[in-house]
Structure 1
């Protein structure tokens, strides 16, 4: 029997083909959010409430990064085959926001540097679940 196609871990936060994060933008002040907001603009200088879905940049610069060497505690699932991974906070210049995500499989902190350009990709987190990740360029 064929396995079902992998699905995004969070519906509506990113697209697979092409890989793009999905945010929201306030129509009153232009503030962009990721993850997407649903209720109202959180900008304290704005009383707008009309938020529209907007695709975000698929490239940015590494703002910070770290090693994730511990097995996540319950309720997170981390199976016996858990492998340490790197995470990166990437600044999307056009949107002026920073988005945290895992780094592509096979890339370690030794391969990263602040200011390095990175692109968004989609990889399987575990069988059946897709997640966005950052790949340094």
Structure 2
């Protein structure tokens, strides 16, 4: 698999397609289109164009099957999320994860259970060090 940090960033639509493919482990254009048209009425041609672009950029690969291609991810979701968050924190918060967390906490974006989970993770990290 290619490293996510070596690949171009994903657009919102490309994230949506990649999440769909990660959930299913693979997808044809038709399968992806049927899901996405229910969500927001996207055209089949748009889905096909995006999947071809994702392959050109290195995010997807394909296998030939009867009647077309089955697309598979070249990078895992977790690796991609980690790489994307690192890029985001570097660009938006000048590398400060504290700035990101403070923004989430002060903006009310975290539920009580999410905040408790973060506290638990921080405590666990502190104990490891």
Query: What TM-score does the superposition give when structure 1 sets the normalisation length?
Result: 0.22
* Structure number with bigger Rg: 2
The structure with the greater share of residues assigned to strand is 1
The structure with the greater share of residues assigned to helix is 2
Query: What TM-score does the superposition give when structure 2 sets the normalisation length?
Result: 0.23
